Amino acid sequence: MPRVVPAVSRALDILELFLDRPQLSAREVMERLDLPRTTVHELLVTLVERSYLISVPGQPVQYRLGMPLFQLGAAFSGRLDLVREAQSVTRDVAAVCNEAVHVAVLNGADVIYLVKVDSTHPVRMVSAVGRRLPANCTAVGKVLLSGLDPAALDAVLAKGDLPGMTPDSITDPDRLRAHLEGVRAEGLALDVSESDSAMRCVAAAVRDHSGSIIAAMSISAPIIRWTPQAHVEWADLVREGAATLSARMGYPGRVR
């Protein structure tokens, strides 16, 4: 087996810390990664030298992400048909419902949001592209988990109780398994104040040419706008949007 280079792994660990924080000090990096001061200093100096991080003067000095990471992300996004097509479809769906529309993918036991089109309402969902959330707490996550084969789902649920974000989150693995059966049967998943007590979401699956679930699309809105009529309309709309995106990804279940 090829050997993993520890210094490279540590440098990547440092960069990944900035997924959740816009700026970090050297001390914060040391504490979060439990690395020696000298090691962190050398890695930060190297990353700054290559412009992957930018040092922001202050007491203490703070660091933020540099332009090369944006360039790499843009290059990746430009080559990813899913993101490009999802941006177009989510804009169309959002234009109809005027609520937040997301497309997300599964990463281990979490979801990562690839695309977001926001509502124009003053009260709307707080979220962002690149954000990571526990899959069991979100409508998109439950759709994605429902598409896993039994062995893959077992691996996700093997660690016992799942993380919760609100009192309504489903954290018991057995309860989640039963819940996912309903998601498979219905072809839709709901987040009923499970990731945010003030929000609700409905999501549907995005499939590729083989029929595999590769992403999920959701419509999210505050409870104050989530009426029974809106629920029905948005469920139909997210099905239609997910089906359109699936067709663009080569799924034969729908004519382009």
pLDDT of 58 higher than 90: no
211: left (phi over 0), alpha (psi -120 to 50) or beta: left
C-alpha–C-alpha distance, residues 184 and 17, integer Å: 35
Q: How many CB atoms lie within 10 A of CB 176?
A: 20
pLDDT of 61 strictly over 50: yes
Q: Taking residues 126-131, what's their average pLDDT?
A: 70
AA identity, residue 116? K
Determine the average pLDDT of the residues in 126-144: 87
pLDDT for 118: 85
pLDDT number for residue 255 = 38
Q: What is the pLDDT of residues 214-252, one digit of tens each?
A: 999 999 999 999 999 999 999 999 999 999 999 988 887
Residue 49 burial (C-beta neighbours within 10 Å; 0-12, 13-18, 19+): exposed
Distance CA 215, CA 103 (A): 7
Of 101, 49, 112, 118, the C-alpha closest to 76 is 112
| Bridge partners of residue 101, in order along the sequence | 117, 219
The C-alpha atoms of residue 101 and residue 131 are separated, in whole angstroms, by 14
For position 90, what pLDDT does the model report?
95
Provide the pLDDT confidence category of residue 157 given band limits of 50, 70 and 90: confident
pLDDT, residue 128, reads 67
pLDDT tens digits, one per residue of 180-199: 999 999 999 999 999 999 99
Low-confidence winner among 71-85, 200-214, 222-236 (lowest mean pLDDT): 71-85
Instruction: Tell me what the mean pLDDT of segment 79-90 comes to.
Output: 85
As a whole number, the mean pLDDT across the chain is: 89
Measured between alpha carbons, how far is 55 from 7 in angstroms, rounded to an integer? 20
Distance CA 97, CA 226 (A): 12
Specify the pairing of strand 110-117 against strand 100-107: antiparallel
**Separation between Cα atoms, residue 61 and residue 27, nearest integer Å:** 10
Letter for the amino acid at 113?
Y
Q: How confident is the model at residue 256 (pLDDT cuts 50, 70, 90)?
A: very low
Examine the pLDDT at 159 and tell me if it is beyond 80: no
* Residue 204 phi, psi (nearest 5): -135, 165
